[in-house]
Structure 1
Amino acid sequence: MNDHYLKKLDRVTAILTQLQSKPIVRAQDLASKFDVSVRTIYRDVKTLENAGIPIIGEAGSGYSLMDGYKLPPVMFTKEEVLSFITAEKLMQKFLHQSLGNHYQTAMEKVRSVLKYSDRNLIQNIEKQIDVYNYHPKTVDNIQNIIPIILESIAEKKQITLEYATVDSKVSMRTIEVVGVFFEFNYWYIMAFCTLRNDFRQFRVDRILQIIKTQNPFLQEYGQINDYRQNPNGNKTKVRLLVDKKIIGHLSNSKKYYGLIDEVERENGVELIFETDWIKDGFPRWLITFADYAEVLEPESLKVSLKELVIKISKKV
């Protein structure tokens, strides 16, 4: 069997896996995934049909497997098995506690379909991989909270929250969740808040009570990153000139605080931000490396920074 037919066999098998895992698969998406022409995908689908796989759909729309059709368990390669072990170690350290049991049972199902030799491979190597996480896990007030939130997204139903702010003020909010994300060791909700009539972030461990209502969303939403990058229009432009020797230490946090451009200058690196947290969050972050940075604009940030330094000096 020559290389051409081996590639086709791998691709056809992968297309079958895609059909098993998704309700609708478009030819254009498959062509992009496997870096072939759409016409090649049409031929591959025809190959599956000729092999007796009941595929519904046609060129130009999308393909799916006939409802009720069952395939034998998928066999995994050794490389895929090793990737499962590594992913499981990561999940044990960073997965939200409300999802932990669900992930564990899912992994048990994956292990159950592995060949005996692959099970031995897992047993021999899983104790040789570890992930070190120096941040303590947050403790939620509510069990199973993330699944409740994800259900509300899937069903497009509003959620009512009892929420505690950073200064321990408690308020009731009705929200429409766009998505969830993990950042700086915390899980967050990005949602439209009906009280504020705007998009807001809510830290999951500060939710004291949650109720999934039967009220439908009042509007449609895009992807979560669309709102994280531009949660509202009240952004302030900030320009900093930072010493080159500490730029590497800011690689993750600078994006979080709204970095939009980075320009190397003769006497340092100019960082340009658009931030929503000019009054509090940004100055507190900046003070951690303020001795290596110069504020170019705005003037109000210089004032905030000086006030923060004075406040700190009085407590030292």
Structure 2
Amino acid sequence: MNRFDRITAIWICLQSRKLVTAQQLAERFEVSIRTIYRDVRTLEEAGVPIVSEAGYGYSLVDGYRLPPVMFSPQEALSFVAAEKLMENFTDKALGAYHRSAMDKIRAVLKNNEKELLSRLENHIQINPLHAPINDSLPETLDILLRGISENKIVTVDYQSFHSDEPVERDIEPVGVFHEYEYWYVIGYCHLRRAYRQFRADRMHDIRLTDRNHTRKHGELEEYRKPMQTEVAKTEVVIEVKKDAHRYIKDRARHFGFVSERDKGEVIEMVFHIQDLMDGFPRWFLMFADKARIIKPGIVKKRIRELVGKMSENLE
């Protein structure tokens, strides 16, 4: 990106947010903070009313607006992919809001850009492996996001993996994230009196209350990292033949994959596993004829048990 394009992009970025830091701009445009300082100064000299708050960041004077936004053909085409993703990876309510926003964006496009979008939209298909949201709750993400933005408690009827019936939980949602084809929310759970992680498709009901959060919460990443490390995990090492490695690599991260090493005829793969009895062993059986367990012995024992039960069922 040349300097002119970068300064224009900074200008647009400043209008799209209430406050943006020099560090955020530097990371986004992959330049030094000193370069950002110079670019901002150039905008100020050109008459753009920028407010600089020491220790906080930059913002535009309230009420200042850019002229109508013009999109490049490449930017316009990216809208189609975004629309398909929103249709398939969010709930119906959020998808409807996005379609409404897209209609407003399309309205300012040139006729040739509208034609480009029309030609492309029937040539992109996205089919998720799982439904990321319970189909009976079309406003799940919408309610969770409102709970976060409005600091309101959300009540959910949640069925964990190990329970037979859903349990009512009052949670103060901190943030949502998409991982391994599912949506999750992290929030303070009043029942457990601790921060917990909930999977959206396991919610049987969800309601936004008028009760405010009882505490001040940090950003999402502050809670994700501790949750990823607080559960004790066991290191599992396997060796996989190279002709099978390419097929299992895509799903390996879902089962705790952390690293691998080429050993000539085989690939050594290392996993950090929480569920040694079901999740990993049952997945391993899919390609067990092309791989072997190096350690630990407990996983070998569990796989032998599963193979024995399979043999009995085939008699």
TM-score, reference length from structure 2 = 0.85
- Distance verdict in 2 for CA 1:157–1:234, change over 3 Å: farther
1:33 and 2:38 equivalent?
A: no
Cα distance in 2 for residues equivalent to 1:307 and 1:217: 48
* 3-state SS in 1 of match to 2:136: coil
1:80 and 2:78 equivalent?
A: no
Structure 2 counterpart of 1:163: 158
- Distance verdict in 2 for CA 1:218–1:257, change over 3 Å: farther
TM alignment of 1:58-77, pairs within 5 A: 61-77=56-72
- Distance verdict in 2 for CA 1:254–1:231, change over 3 Å: same
Structure 1 counterpart of 2:127: 133
Structure 1 counterpart of 2:147: 152
Structure 2 counterpart of 1:3: none
Q: What is the Cα deviation at residue 95 of structure 1?
A: 3.4
Letter in 2 for 1:17: I
Q: What is the Cα deviation at residue 200 of structure 1?
A: 4.5
1:140-166: CA deviation from partner (whole Å, max 9, x where unpaired): 332311011122233444433211234
Q: What is the Cα deviation at residue 111 of structure 1?
A: 0.5
* 3-state SS in 1 of match to 2:87: helix
**Larger displacement relative to structure 2 (211-220 or 276-285):** 211-220
- Distance verdict in 2 for CA 1:171–1:307, change over 3 Å: farther
Q: What is the Cα deviation at residue 275 of structure 1?
A: 1.7
- Distance verdict in 2 for CA 1:150–1:315, change over 3 Å: farther
Q: What is the Cα deviation at residue 110 of structure 1?
A: 1.0
- Distance verdict in 2 for CA 1:157–1:315, change over 3 Å: farther
Q: What is the Cα deviation at residue 109 of structure 1?
A: 1.2
Q: CA RMSD in A?
A: 2.9
Structure 2, gaps ≥5 residues long:
none
Q: What is the Cα deviation at residue 178 of structure 1?
A: 4.2
Match of 1:232 among 226, 230, 233: 230
Match of 1:45 among 23, 36, 40: 40
1:204-254: CA deviation from partner (whole Å, max 9, x where unpaired): 122112234423346535417944871523211111122221111122221
Cα distance in 1 for residues equivalent to 2:172 and 2:303: 36
Cα distance in 1 for residues equivalent to 2:293 and 2:170: 39
Conserved 8 A contact 2:85-2:126: no
Conserved 8 A contact 1:199-1:227: no
- Distance verdict in 2 for CA 1:199–1:313, change over 3 Å: farther
Q: What is the Cα deviation at residue 117 of structure 1?
A: 2.5
Match of 1:246 among 244, 247, 251: 244
**Larger displacement relative to structure 2 (183-192 or 254-263):** 183-192
Cα distance in 2 for residues equivalent to 1:200 and 1:89: 31
**Count of aligned pairs between the two proteins:** 310
Q: What is the Cα deviation at residue 308 of structure 1?
A: 2.2
Cα distance in 2 for residues equivalent to 1:293 and 1:228: 33
1:117 and 2:115 equivalent?
A: no
**Identity between Structure 1 and Structure 2 (%):** 40
Conserved 8 A contact 2:153-2:172: yes
- Distance verdict in 2 for CA 1:146–1:170, change over 3 Å: same
TM-score, reference length from structure 1 = 0.85
Structure 1, gaps ≥5 residues long:
1-5
